[in-house]
């Protein structure tokens, strides 16, 4: 069953790998563009926007990297999630596979799991590259793109969870709504909704956490050191990730139930 | 032997099978001791329901023409029952055809009459 | 034939299906004995496809559906073969990949049987399913269902995309399967002639209801057909009439023979096609 699922995902996996490779390559190139500008100014280690505010191509590279970090996890999720069941319904192949000997709930669960795993892996590569390679340069233009940061929280784990949640959501929408075009359009809504789920969930989870008598570690940094900015939202990102994971488990169960409903 | 099924004659398929075996035995194409094709072989070759073949073979068995042998198939019996006296019937029929033709009926009319009479009785 | 077997292979009772809030099948009840080959007949939109899909577990239903003596569901799925209309298969897979998938998805899968049937059908293993002609694809779909070694086989218009040669070959394959394995077959079609000689039972659907169900011989024996002039019309009084079809100056009547048919007319045994057409015309009138 798993081999068939992966075989059916193959074309989408290939595109997802290409997207991942392209995004990763862009992040490396963008990092090197900014570093070049810093080198040219004689400030290779600069982390203070007041000293080395990027201009021209370097600024574009930072904007590009921010946009990439914000959109790639979502795109990867769509790419792997939308065709998962929508295409089966379009081509009526569900009538083939669900009349083999495998129970529908197992088939649906396995498909959702593989799509989520694939989306998460790809998003993890992009997220880690962003955080480790590009992160330190985005600080230089933070004032400008602070809103974009809210879409990825500078956190690989959050990006991974966002991607996986998009994949399973698009998958389940396909299972219920059918039709690739319709599934795609409905799944677009998941972007804002997903963020609301993540942040709303984080707020709900965060209230009890905040009540715990844990002293948050305070960093005593000099006023012109901004390196801490990149990790500023990590705490919030981890709680949001937990919220997304809870959501993923719930939606997979909903999909499982939905797939099995007819077959009872 | 190979059966030939004609779906347009209106004759029931199992009747066609029975007739063809009878004829093959009469003409000597099937000799006593010969094995009839299995229901599976007939079904695969002609695309007819194997139950129809079983039914035809049962009918032939009742008529004393063939006998099933445990596990090896259906065979033409060594000692066949005496064939009904067809010659007499043929003589009567040809006399009747002569009269019908003399009365102005044509071949089509005769066939229609015969078919209708047969259908009434055999169904 | 096997009507004396007490437990049927397939049993539906008060079986109903709703699609998009509309009831498509109403109180469908019939039983198929083991080893029966049943024609599922009806006009377009009568509910044949819906019935087969629901029986295959692809649509939710209400009422009873028992297959091989068990309620339908995951437990009996390995024993039920289903071929949907237009032969749904993965178009991006090759023939060989499709067969491998079948082997992995079905515990009762017979690779030897699949190989024999693929060779007989002349299917190229390396061919992509999406590139196969519709007839070839249908044959592959049927092979997938047969290699699953089903006890009950549900086929939705399997002959429609086939050329005449492939049609007789498929009929032969199916009937050999019935002879060798005693498979119970339910086969939807709207061409009665197509299944003549193959089927021994019939389920006739009209507007989502069962118009007629049972053995074909019994059904035909239970009806008589007569042609009469308008002056004979009165003779039909008191008969259990299925349909009276007026023609030029006369009529054709089909009656059920519960009471003996009126003696004034010459009654004949109808063909299956005449019987089916009379029911379908009367249902849509």
Question: Both B51 and B105 in a single domain?
Answer: no
**Inter-chain residue contact B51 with C193, CB threshold 8 Å:** no
Mean pLDDT across the stretch C179-207? 91
Helical H runs in chain C? Answer: 48-55, 95-105, 111-121, 134-147, 164-181, 216-221, 272-284
Question: Both B70 and B94 in a single domain?
Answer: no
Give me the pLDDT at residue C226, please. Answer: 87
Give me the pLDDT at residue A225, please. Answer: 63
Instruction: Give the up-direction half-sphere exposure of residue C252: CA atoms within 13 A in the CB hemisphere.
Output: 13
Find, among A104, A68, A139, A151, the residue nearest to A258 by Cα: A104
Q: How far apart are CA B21 and CA B27, in angstroms?
A: 10
The whole-chain average pLDDT of chain A stands at 90
Q: How far is B113 from chain C (nearest CA, A)?
A: 14
pLDDT exceeds cutoff 80 at A196? yes
Q: Does A have 3 or more CB contacts under 8 Å with B?
A: no
- The string of pLDDT tens digits covering residues B39-76 is 999 999 999 999 999 999 999 999 889 999 988 889 99
Mean pLDDT across the stretch C234-263? 84
**What's the Cα-to-Cα distance from B78 to each of B55, B64, B66, B86, C232, rounded to whole Å?**
21, 10, 9, 22, 55
Write down which chains contact chain B via at least 3 CB pairs under 8 A.
Answer: C
Give me the pLDDT at residue C262, please. Answer: 74
Question: Both B28 and B67 in a single domain?
Answer: yes
* B4 lies in some domain: no
Q: How far is C-alpha C51 from the chain's CA centre? A: 10
Tally Cβ neighbours within 10 Å of residue C173. Answer: 21
Q: What angle do CA A65, A71, A72 make, to 5 degrees?
A: 85
Q: Please answer whether residues C56 and C80 qualify as being in contact, where contact means their C-beta atoms are separated by less than 8 angstroms.
A: yes
C269 contacts: CB under 8 Å, gap ≥ 6: B119, B123, C220, C221, C223, C224, C225
Chain C residues with CB under 8 Å of A261 CB are 60
- The string of pLDDT tens digits covering residues C67-122 is 999 988 888 999 999 999 999 999 999 999 999 999 999 999 999 999 999 999 99
pLDDT exceeds cutoff 60 at C275? yes
pLDDT exceeds cutoff 90 at C240? no
Q: Does C have 3 or more CB contacts under 8 Å with A?
A: yes
CB pairs under 8 A between B and C: 62
Which CATH number belongs to the domain containing residue B68 in this structure?
1.10.10.10
Give me the pLDDT at residue A224, please. Answer: 58
On whether any CB of chain A is under 8 Å from the CB of C250, the answer is no
Nearest chain C residue to B10, by CA = C271
- The string of pLDDT tens digits covering residues A123-149 is 999 999 999 999 889 888 877 787 888
* B7 lies in some domain: no
* B6 lies in some domain: no
Q: How far is C84 from chain A (nearest CA, A)?
A: 7
- Which of A149 and A24 is assigned the larger pLDDT? A24
On whether any CB of chain C is under 8 Å from the CB of A150, the answer is no
Compute the CA torsion angle A127, A131, A137, A138 (nearest 10 deg): 60
Mean pLDDT across the stretch C201-218? 94
Q: Which range among A125-134, C218-227, C229-238 shows the weakest confidence by mean pLDDT?
A: C229-238
Question: Both B65 and B110 in a single domain?
Answer: no
Helix and strand numbers (H, E) in chain C are: 7, 14
**What's the Cα-to-Cα distance from A100 to each of B123, C143, C147, C183, C273, rounded to whole Å?**
44, 13, 11, 17, 34
**Inter-chain residue contact A93 with C89, CB threshold 8 Å:** yes
Among A96, A101, A103, whose Cβ lies nearest the Cβ of C89? A96
Write b or e for each residue in C130-163: b if 16 or more Cβ atoms lie within 10 A of its Cβ, otherwise e.
eebeebbbbbbbbbbbbbbbbbbbbbbbbbbbbe
Number of structural domains found in chain B: 2
Question: Both B93 and B70 in a single domain?
Answer: no
pLDDT exceeds cutoff 50 at C205? yes
**Inter-chain residue contact C175 with B47, CB threshold 8 Å:** yes
Q: Please answer whether residues C57 and C29 qualify as being in contact, where contact means their C-beta atoms are separated by less than 8 angstroms.
A: no
**What confidence tier does C2 reach under pLDDT thresholds 50, 70, 90?**
very low
DSSP characters over C92-119: TSBHHHHHHHHHHH-TT--HHHHHHHHH
**Inter-chain residue contact A91 with C88, CB threshold 8 Å:** yes
Q: What angle do CA A140, A143, A147 make, to 5 degrees?
A: 120
Interface test with B, best of C175, C226, C274 (most B CBs within 10 A): C175
Q: How far apart are CA A169 and CA C51, in angstroms?
A: 31
Interface test with C, best of B49, B115, B118, B120 (most C CBs within 10 A): B49
Question: Both B105 and B53 in a single domain?
Answer: no
On whether any CB of chain B is under 8 Å from the CB of C12, the answer is no
Interface test with B, best of C176, C215, C222, C268 (most B CBs within 10 A): C176
Burial of A111 (0-12, 13-18, 19+ CB in 10 A): buried
* B28 lies in some domain: yes
Q: How far is C137 from chain B (nearest CA, A)?
A: 20
Mean pLDDT across the stretch A172-180? 90
On whether any CB of chain B is under 8 Å from the CB of C231, the answer is no
Interface list for C 30-49 with B (CB within 8 A): 35, 37
Q: How far apart are CA A15 and CA A76, in angstroms?
A: 9
Question: Both B37 and B55 in a single domain?
Answer: yes
Chain C residues with CB under 8 Å of B52 CB are 197, 200
Percent of chain A with pLDDT over 90: 69
* B1 lies in some domain: no
- Which of A66 and A178 is assigned the larger pLDDT? A66
Q: Please answer whether residues A136 and A227 qualify as being in contact, where contact means their C-beta atoms are separated by less than 8 angstroms.
A: yes
- Which of C182 and C266 is assigned the larger pLDDT? C182
Question: Both B47 and B96 in a single domain?
Answer: no
- Report the phi/psi class of residue C69: left, alpha or beta, with left for phi > 0 and alpha for psi in -120 to 50: left
**Is residue C208 within a helix (H) or strand (E), and if so which, with residue range?**
none
Q: Please answer whether residues A251 and A169 qualify as being in contact, where contact means their C-beta atoms are separated by less than 8 angstroms.
A: yes
Give me the pLDDT at residue B34, please. Answer: 92
Question: Both B70 and B93 in a single domain?
Answer: no
On whether any CB of chain B is under 8 Å from the CB of C168, the answer is yes
- The string of pLDDT tens digits covering residues C151-180 is 999 999 999 999 999 999 999 999 999 999
* B33 lies in some domain: yes
**What confidence tier does A220 reach under pLDDT thresholds 50, 70, 90?**
low
- The string of pLDDT tens digits covering residues C46-72 is 999 999 999 999 999 999 999 999 988
* B102 lies in some domain: yes
Q: Which residue in the block uniquely carries the two structure tokens 């069962």?
A: C210
- The string of pLDDT tens digits covering residues C114-142 is 999 999 999 999 999 999 999 999 999 99
Q: Are strands C37-42 and C201-206 parallel, antiparallel or unpaired?
A: parallel
Find, among C139, C39, C35, C67, the residue nearest to B43 by Cα: C35
Question: Both B68 and B116 in a single domain?
Answer: no
* B116 lies in some domain: yes
Question: Both B95 and B63 in a single domain?
Answer: no
- Which of A209 and A120 is assigned the larger pLDDT? A120
Q: Is the dihedral of CA A139, A141, A146, A147 positive or negative?
A: negative
Write down which chains contact chain C via at least 3 CB pairs under 8 A.
Answer: A, B
B117 — phi, psi (to 5°)? -60, -45
Task: Provide the residue range defining the domain that includes B94.
Answer: 86-122
Q: Please answer whether residues C93 and C126 qualify as being in contact, where contact means their C-beta atoms are separated by less than 8 angstroms.
A: no
pLDDT exceeds cutoff 50 at A264? no
On whether any CB of chain A is under 8 Å from the CB of C70, the answer is no
- The string of pLDDT tens digits covering residues A53-86 is 999 999 999 999 999 999 999 999 999 999 999 9
Question: Both B28 and B57 in a single domain?
Answer: yes
Q: How far is B123 from chain C (nearest CA, A)?
A: 6
On whether any CB of chain A is under 8 Å from the CB of C20, the answer is no
First-to-final CA distance of chain C: 34
**Inter-chain residue contact C172 with B52, CB threshold 8 Å:** no
Q: How far apart are CA A175 and CA A177, in angstroms?
A: 6
Chain C residues with CB under 8 Å of B55 CB are 1
On whether any CB of chain B is under 8 Å from the CB of C1, the answer is yes
Instruction: Give the up-direction half-sphere exposure of residue C258: CA atoms within 13 A in the CB hemisphere.
Output: 5
Tally Cβ neighbours within 10 Å of residue C18. Answer: 14
- Which of A166 and C264 is assigned the larger pLDDT? A166
Give me the pLDDT at residue C1, please. Answer: 45
Give me the pLDDT at residue B84, please. Answer: 65
C156 contacts: CB under 8 Å, gap ≥ 6: C48, C49, C52, C53, C83, C84, C85, C188
């Amino acid at each position: 069953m798993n081999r068939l699922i992966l075989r059916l995902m193959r074309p989408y996996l290939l595109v997802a790998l290409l997207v991942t490779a392209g995004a990763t390559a862009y992040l490396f190139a963008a990092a090197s563009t900014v570093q070049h500008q810093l080198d040219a100014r004689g400030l290779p280690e600069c982390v203070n926007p007041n000293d080395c505010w990027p201009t021209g191509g370097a600024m574009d590279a930072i904007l590009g990297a921010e946009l990439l970090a914000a959109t790639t996890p979502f795109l990867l999720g769509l790419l792997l999630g939308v065709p998962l069941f929508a295409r089966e319904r379009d081509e009526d192949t569900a009538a083939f596979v669900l009349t083999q000997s495998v129970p529908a709930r197992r088939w649906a669960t396995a498909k959702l799991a593989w799509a989520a795993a694939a989306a998460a892996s790809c998003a993890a590569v992009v997220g880690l590259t962003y955080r480790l390679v590009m992160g330190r340069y985005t600080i230089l233009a933070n004032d400008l793109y602070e809103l974009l940061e809210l879409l990825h929280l500078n956190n690989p784990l959050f990006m991974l969870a966002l991607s996986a949640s998009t994949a399973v959501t698009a998958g389940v929408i396909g299972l219920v709504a059918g039709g690739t075009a319709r599934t795609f359009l409905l799944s677009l809504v998941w972007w804002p909704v997903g963020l609301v789920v993540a942040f709303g969930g984080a707020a709900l989870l965060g209230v009890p956490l905040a009540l715990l008598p844990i002293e948050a570690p305070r960093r005593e940094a000099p006023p012109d050191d901004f390196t801490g900015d990149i990790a500023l939202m990590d705490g919030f990102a981890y709680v949001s990730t937990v919220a997304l994971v809870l959501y993923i488990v719930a939606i997979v169960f909903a999909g499982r139930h939905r797939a099995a409903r007819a077959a009872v | 032997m190979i059966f030939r099924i004609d779906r347009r004659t209106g004759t029931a398929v199992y009747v066609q099978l029975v007739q063809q075996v009878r004829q093959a035995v009469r003409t000597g194409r099937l000799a006593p001791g010969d094995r009839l094709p299995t229901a599976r072989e007939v079904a695969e070759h002609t695309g007819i329901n194997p139950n129809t073949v079983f039914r035809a073979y049962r009918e032939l068995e009742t008529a004393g023409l063939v006998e099933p042998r445990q596990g090896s198939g259906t065979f033409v019996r060594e000692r066949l029952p005496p064939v009904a006296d067809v010659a007499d019937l043929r003589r009567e029929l040809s006399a009747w055809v002569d009269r019908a033709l003399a009365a102005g009926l044509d071949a089509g009319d005769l066939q229609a009459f015969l078919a209708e009479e047969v259908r009434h009785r055999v169904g | 034939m096997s009507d004396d077997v007490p437990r049927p292979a397939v049993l539906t009772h008060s079986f109903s299906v709703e699609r998009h809030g509309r009831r498509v099948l109403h109180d469908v009840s019939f039983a198929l004995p083991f080893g029966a080959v049943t024609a599922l007949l009806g006009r377009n939109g009568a509910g044949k496809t819906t019935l087969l899909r629901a029986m295959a577990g692809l649509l939710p239903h209400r009422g009873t559906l028992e297959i091989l003596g068990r309620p339908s569901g995951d437990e009996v799925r390995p024993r039920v073969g289903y071929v949907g209309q237009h032969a749904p298969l993965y178009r991006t897979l090759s023939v060989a990949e499709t067969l491998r998938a079948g082997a992995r998805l079905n515990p009762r899968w017979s690779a030897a049987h699949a190989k024999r049937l693929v060779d007989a059908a002349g299917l190229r293993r390396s061919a992509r399913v999406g590139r196969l002609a519709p007839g070839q694809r249908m044959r592959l779909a049927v092979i997938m269902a047969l290699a699953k070694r089903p006890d009950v086989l549900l086929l939705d218009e399997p002959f429609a995309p086939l050329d005449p040669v492939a049609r007789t070959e498929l009929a032969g394959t199916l009937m050999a399967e019935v002879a060798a394995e005693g498979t119970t077959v339910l086969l939807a079609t709207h061409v009665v002639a197509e299944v003549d000689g193959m089927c021994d039972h019939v389920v006739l659907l009209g507007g989502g209801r069962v118009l007629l169900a049972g053995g074909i011989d019994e059904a035909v024996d239970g009806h008589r057909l007569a042609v009469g002039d308008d002056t004979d019309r009165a003779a039909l009084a008191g008969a259990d009439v299925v349909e009276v079809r007026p023609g030029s100056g006369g009529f054709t009547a089909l009656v059920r023979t519960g009471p003996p048919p009126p003696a004034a007319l010459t009654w004949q045994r109808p063909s299956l096609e005449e019987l089916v057409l009379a029911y379908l015309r009367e249902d849509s009138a």
